[in-house]
Structure 1
Amino acid sequence: MNVQNGLNAFKGLTLDPMFGWIVSPILAVAVVVLTVVMAVRSHRQRPYTDATTVDWVRRVLASVMLAVMLLTPSTTLKTESRAVNATDVFIAVDVTGSMGVADAQYGSDETMSRIDAAQQAVDGIVKLYPDASFAAISFGASGTLEVPLTPDSRAIENWASTLTLEPTSASSGSNLDKAVDPLLLATKNTRNQHPDDTIIVYYISDGEQTSNKSRRTFSSLRAYVNGAQTVGVGSADGGQIPQIADDGTMSTDQFVTDPSTGQPGISKLDEKTLKAIADEMSGSYVHVDAGRTIDERDVQQTSSDWRMQSTYKQREHSVPAIWPFAIVFAVLLLWEAVAWMRTSRRLL
Structure 2
Amino acid sequence: MIFQPVLHPALLLVFLIPIVVLAAIGLGRSSAPSERWRWVGRIGMAVLLATILLRPGLPGGSAETLSANTDVLLVVDTTASSIAEDWGSDHQPRMDAIKKDIQAVMDRYPGARFGLISFDREAEMRVPITADTTALRSALDGLTPEVTQNSRGTSIGVAAPLLKDALDLIRNSTEARGRMVFYFGDGEQTADSTPESFADSAKLTDGGMVLGYGTKQGGKMRQTTGTVDGGAAPYIEYQGQPALSVIDQDNLRTIATELGVKYELREPGKKLALPDPPTTTTSGTASTGGHVGTAIELYPYAAGLLAALLGVEMANALAQLIRLRRGALAARKEH
- State TM-score, norm by structure 1: 0.60
Q: CA RMSD in A?
A: 2.8
Partner of 1:120: 100
Task: Give yes or no for the alignment of 1:301 onto 2:278.
Answer: yes
Distance change in 2, residues 1:221/1:143 (3 Å)? same
> Percent identity over the alignment?
26
Residue 220 of structure 1 and its aligned partner are, at CA, apart by: 0.5
- Among candidates 264, 288, 297, match of residue 286 of structure 1: 264
SS of the aligned residue for 1:286 comes to strand
Mapping 1:49-60, distance limit 5 Å: none
Residues 186 and 248 in structure 2, CA contact (< 8 A), matched pair in contact too: yes
Residues 111 and 290 in structure 2, CA contact (< 8 A), matched pair in contact too: no
Cα deviation digits, residues 246-275 of structure 1 (max 9, x gap): 2388974522222xx343221111111111
**What is the letter of the counterpart of residue 286 of structure 1?**
E
Task: Give yes or no for the alignment of 1:101 onto 2:84.
Answer: yes
SS of the aligned residue for 1:202 comes to strand
Residues 70 and 277 in structure 2, CA contact (< 8 A), matched pair in contact too: no
Residue 112 of structure 1 and its aligned partner are, at CA, apart by: 1.2
Task: Give yes or no for the alignment of 1:255 onto 2:238.
Answer: no
Cα deviation digits, residues 121-177 of structure 1 (max 9, x gap): 110110110121111111111111111111122322232222111110111112111
Residue 111 of structure 1 and its aligned partner are, at CA, apart by: 3.2
Distance change in 2, residues 1:312/1:166 (3 Å)? same
Partner of 1:26: none
* Partners of 1:241 and 1:312 in 2: CA distance: 35
Partner of 1:89: 72
* Partners of 2:267 and 2:115 in 1: CA distance: 25
- Is the deviation greater in 273-282 or in 189-198? 189-198
Partner of 2:309: none
Distance change in 2, residues 1:299/1:288 (3 Å)? farther
Distance change in 2, residues 1:166/1:249 (3 Å)? farther
Residue 311 of structure 1 and its aligned partner are, at CA, apart by: 6.0
Residues 230 and 283 in structure 1, CA contact (< 8 A), matched pair in contact too: yes
Task: Give yes or no for the alignment of 1:137 onto 2:120.
Answer: no
Residues 169 and 246 in structure 1, CA contact (< 8 A), matched pair in contact too: no
Partner of 1:340: none
**What is the letter of the counterpart of residue 74 of structure 2?**
I
Task: Give yes or no for the alignment of 1:225 onto 2:198.
Answer: no
* Partners of 1:139 and 1:224 in 2: CA distance: 20
Residue 222 of structure 1 and its aligned partner are, at CA, apart by: 1.2
**What is the letter of the counterpart of residue 189 of structure 1?**
L
Residues 165 and 244 in structure 1, CA contact (< 8 A), matched pair in contact too: yes
Distance change in 2, residues 1:242/1:231 (3 Å)? same
**What is the letter of the counterpart of residue 259 of structure 2?**
M
Count of aligned pairs between the two proteins: 232
Cα deviation digits, residues 285-309 of structure 1 (max 9, x gap): 11211232324x4445351224787
Mapping 1:259-270, distance limit 5 Å: 261-270=239-248
SS of the aligned residue for 2:128 comes to strand
- Among candidates 164, 169, 177, match of residue 149 of structure 2: 169
**What is the letter of the counterpart of residue 97 of structure 1?**
A
- State TM-score, norm by structure 2: 0.63
Cα deviation digits, residues 23-62 of structure 1 (max 9, x gap): xxxxxxxxxxxxxxxxxxxxxxxxxxxxxxxxxxxxxxxx
**What is the letter of the counterpart of residue 285 of structure 1?**
Y
Residue 196 of structure 1 and its aligned partner are, at CA, apart by: 2.6
Distance change in 2, residues 1:215/1:248 (3 Å)? farther
Partner of 2:179: 199
Bigger-Rg structure (1/2):
1
SS of the aligned residue for 1:244 comes to coil
Residues 243 and 251 in structure 1, CA contact (< 8 A), matched pair in contact too: no
Partner of 1:319: none
**What is the letter of the counterpart of residue 261 of structure 2?**
G
Residues 200 and 228 in structure 1, CA contact (< 8 A), matched pair in contact too: yes
